[in-house]
Structure 1
C-alpha cells in the first residue's frame, strides 16, 4: 500500500487500471513518463516578478507555450521523519529554457488529505483532496494553503488562495495518460494552467 492507495482505500480500485498502475508507486521505484503539454498558460503580467522568483526553487515559472515536450518522474521514498513520501519532478522543455515544477507529498489519514509542499525549497504548502470520478479519473482539489517560512506555516486567506483542480485520466483509444491542471485565484484569475498527454517510459 502506497500513500495514494492507502488514502483512497476502496476508491482506489475504481480508478482506471492504468491509473492504478501509475499511482501504485512501490517504495523506491520510480514511475517515468514522457509526453507533450498541448497548452501551458501562466497568468497576469502582475505576477511576472513572482514567477521569476519562484522558478528558481522549481515551483511555478513565467513561460507559456503550445506543444511543449514534457517529462515526469514520481518516486516513493522514506523521508527524514520516517514517513512515506512521494517526490514529484515535472520538467517542461521550452525552446529556450527548461523549467521544473517539483513537489513532495505525504498523507494525513486523520484529516484524509495529501500534504503537498511545493518547490525544492518549500515555501508554499497546500492540502490536497483526492477523489475518483465515475469515469475512473483521478480528481484532485486544494484546501487549506500556507506560506512556509522555516518552521512557521502561515495560513493564506481565502481571497488570496490559488484554487487547484487536477483531472488525470487515461485515453484507451490513443493509449495515453491525460492531464489537465488549473490554478486559479478569485481576484486575479488564472495563475497557471497546463493540459496534455503522456506515456510511461523506461527513462
Structure 2
C-alpha cells in the first residue's frame, strides 16, 4: 500500500509479480521462504558490536552459503495512524537463528521511505525507490541517523552505510530474487546477502 502510493505511476512498471508482492493490503501479510546463496558479514574487528546488534534484531556476525531464510511483510497502522510496513527477515544458520527487522513508512513530501532498522530501532535511513528498465525494484539509502531512545543523531557521511537493494523476479526459475549490499567508506562491506524466495503459507 505505501509503496503503491510512493511509486505512483512507476508502480505499474514493476514486474507483475513484484506488483503483487508490494501491494500489501492492510492485515494481509506476505510470507515467503527461500535460500540465501551467500551471506557476508562485516570486518572481524566489528563482530563484538554485531553481537550486540543481535539483541535488537539488526546486523549479525554470522556468514555462510546456502542459508535458509523466511521473510514476512505486514502492512498495518501505527500509533500515529500512519500506514507502515513491518519487515521480518529470519536467517537459519546451523548453530543459531538471526533476525534483521525494520519498520517503514513514507514521506510523500520528500518522496522517500522512512526506514527504522532493528526492533527496537537502532538506526534510521531515508530510502529512495526506483523501478529499473527490467521491472526490478532498486532501493538506495540517503541520509542516516543513529537512534538513541527517543533521540535521533545525524551520522557523519563517513559513518553511514550505503545501502543498495535490488529485488527482481526470475521468470525462468519462477522465484523472487534479492541482493542487498551495505558498504561503509571507512570499514568496507558491512553486510551483503543474495538469494531467492517464493511465497508460502505461514
1:56 is paired with a residue whose SS is helix
Aligned to 1:155: 154
Q: Secondary structure at the match of 2:109?
A: coil
How far residue 151 of structure 1 moved from its aligned partner, in angstroms, is 1.9
Q: How far apart in 1 are the matches of 2:55 and 2:37? A: 24
Q: Is the partner of 2:121 in helix, strand or coil?
A: coil
- What is the match of residue 58 of structure 1? 57
2: CA distance, partners of 1:188 / 1:58: 21
State the TM-score, normalizing by the size of structure 1.
Answer: 0.99
Q: Which runs of 4+ in 1 moved over 2 A?
A: none
Q: CA deviation at 1:44?
A: 0.7
CA offset at residue 43 of structure 1?
1.5
For residues 37-56 of structure 1, the aligned pairs below 5 Å read: 37-56=36-55
Whole-Å separation in 2 of the counterparts to 1:47 and 1:126: 21
1:49 offset after TM fit, Å? 1.1
- For 1:145-184, what aligned pairs fall within 5 Å after superposition? 145-184=144-183
CA deviations over 1:13-47 (Å, ceiling 9, x no partner)? 00000000000000111000000000000111121
State the number of aligned residues.
202
C-alpha displacement of 1:165: 0.2
Which residues of 2 match residues 1-203 of structure 1 at below 5 A? Answer: 2-203=1-202
Cα deviations across residues 106-163 of structure 1 (Å, max 9, x unaligned)?
0000000000001111121000100000000000000000001122110001011100
Distance 2:73 2:193 in 1: 18
- Deviation, 1:187, is 1.1
Unaligned runs of 5+ in 1: none
Counterparts of 2:197 and 2:148 in 1: how far apart (Å)? 35
Quote how far apart the aligned CAs of 1:56 are.
0.9
Question: Equivalent residue of 1:123, what SS?
Answer: strand
Give the CA deviation at 1:72. 0.2
The alignment's C-alpha RMSD in Å is 0.5
Separation in structure 2 between the aligned mates of residue 55 and residue 162 of structure 1, nearest angstrom: 18
TM-score, structure 2 normalization: 0.99
3-state DSSP of counterpart to 1:197: strand
Please state how far the C-alpha of 1:96 moved relative to its aligned partner.
0.7
> What SS is found at the alignment partner of 1:81?
coil
Alpha-carbon distance in structure 2 between the residues aligned to 1:61 and 1:187: 19
Structure 2: segments with no counterpart, 5+ residues: none
Q: Describe the SS at the equivalent of 2:50.
A: helix
